[in-house]
Amino acid sequence: MTAREDLQDAGLQLRWKKFHVLDDGFVCLVDVMGNDSSVVQAARVSYGEGTRRVSDDRTLIRYLMRHRHTTPFEMAEIKLLVRVPMDCWRQWIRHRTANINEYSTRYSIAIDSAQQTPSDQWRAQATGNRQGSAELLSPETGEKLSPAERELQEEARRVYQERLAAGVAREQARKDLPLSTYTEAYWKIDLHNLLHFLSLRMNDHAQQEIRDYARTIGEHIVMPLFPLVWEAFQDYRLGATFLSRLELSVVERLMKRARQTGNTPPFNEEIFLACQDETWKDLKRCRERNECRSKLQRIGVLAAPV
């Protein structure tokens, strides 16, 4: 069986296979157009199909990914069916580069399912990031929160059903359903924009729930359908660190200081602050400085915090 036939077989096996996410969510592949060869074909539009070896295809895909040549990746598409809590879905559809058709609670009764939080999975609010989470709350706290959550969801559903039974229009009866209620949607997107979605939503800074969906899509659907693209995506996007002009200048000053003083990496915080960008120096709080510090600690230029 050829590599292309292997990918076609993978696509057939994946269609309509549900990969479960959270307590009652899922993602499944509905359809796929293209594979690794589609990306290569678009990049080599002047060449006939089959004129390059697989190893050449891999080299070209990695070059395209590395140098951010995006158009060839737009030539492949994936269509998914997803079941996702409404609050998570709100984040999802901020990515306005897909075609979407969502389950309508004006036409149909809302899905009788709401995402519930296990008692050991309640997260504290992050102090340094207004939109993020921090450590897990204690199980004792969770054992109070989870039953209250279930009670609230059950009451909201009861009121909703009561309104429907009284003849209230579905479009009005739904208005007090919680954001934890599951919705379903078809989501069709080209490969370039899908990878952009995954690079943001698989990131550690993304909310845990949407990270779970993104990781499932990436590892269980994109990877087997586009193995060469996925490999390049992991190497040059997902696992990569990018340095801005200001950050490169910090590194240059650190290296210059090392040559002058004989100090070698990893440098301490005092040296880092002495070499930081001028525009950061008067700021008590500076996200860009913090990001630079984290990147340089990751690659061993700065000492990790004790």
DSSP letter string over 7-66? HHHHHHHHBT--EEETTTEEEEEEEEE--HHHHHHHHTTTS-TT-S-HHHHHHHHHHHHH
Residues 118, 145: Cα–Cα separation, whole Å: 9
Q: Which two tokens stand for residue 145?
A: 């929160």
* 217 Cβ contact partners less than 8 Å away, ≥ 6 residues apart: 27, 80, 194, 198
Work out the angle at residue 236's Cα, subtended by the Cα atoms of residues 215 and 94, and round it to the nearest 5 degrees.
Answer: 50
Q: Which two tokens stand for residue 168?
A: 């209230």
Q: Which of 58, 83, 201, 289 is catalytic?
A: 201
Q: Is it true that the peptide bond before 266 is cis, omega within 30 degrees of 0?
A: yes
Token pair 């997107």: residue: 189
Nearest Cα to 15, choosing from 29, 33, 25? 29
Is 201 designated active site?
yes
Q: Within a 10 A sphere around the Cβ of 85, how many other Cβ atoms?
A: 25
Catalytic residues: 201
